[in-house]
Amino acid sequence: MAAAESYPDDLKYHEEHDWARVEGDEAVLGITWFAADALGELVHFEPPEVGSTVAKDQSYGEVESVKAVSDVIAPLSGEVLEVNEQVVGAPETVNEDPYGNGWLLRIRLSDPAETDTLLDVGAYRELLANQ
């Protein structure tokens, strides 16, 4: 079952509907409720390799739904420390819990200052209202 619409206050948001939970020099990344809802039920997640790097504003993988295939855009740059294998095996986890069990990657930040370029929850909600 799909999660109810929500945008947690403690996250930073990218205009491409990706989120980051910054924890010191690391961040957990995922896609927002809006992105998961727009895509519909996810059926596949193609992640990057652990040890590879992701670059802010660049695609780092793909999510496939019954409707479409979409690139996942990195909100921040860094080295991939962990891929959420639960989502690889059960992509619909993202639809059910996009900010909890449905996270996609954990990275070590290569430029923590990039966090300042992301949107807070108020700015992200404003972006959604104008779409």
Q: What is the pLDDT of residue 3?
A: 80
Q: What is the pLDDT of residue 127?
A: 96
Chain segment 28-77, per-residue pLDDT in tens: 999 999 999 999 999 999 999 999 999 999 999 999 998 899 999 999 99
pTM of the model: 0.95
Residues near 78 by Cβ (< 8 Å), separated by ≥ 6? 26, 27, 53, 54, 107, 108, 109, 110
What Å distances lie between residue 86 and 9, 47, 124, CA to CA? 25, 12, 27
Q: What is the pLDDT of residue 84?
A: 98
Q: Mean pLDDT over all residues of the chain?
A: 96
Read off the tokens for 57. Answer: 């504003």
- Per DSSP, the three-state class of 125 is helix
Chain segment 111-126, per-residue pLDDT in tens: 999 999 999 999 999 9
**Domains of the chain from N-terminus onward:** 12-126 (2.40.50.100)
How many whole angstroms from its chain centre is CA 50? 16
Q: What is the pLDDT of residue 124?
A: 98
What is the mean pLDDT of the segment spanning 86-96? 97
Q: What is the pLDDT of residue 1?
A: 64
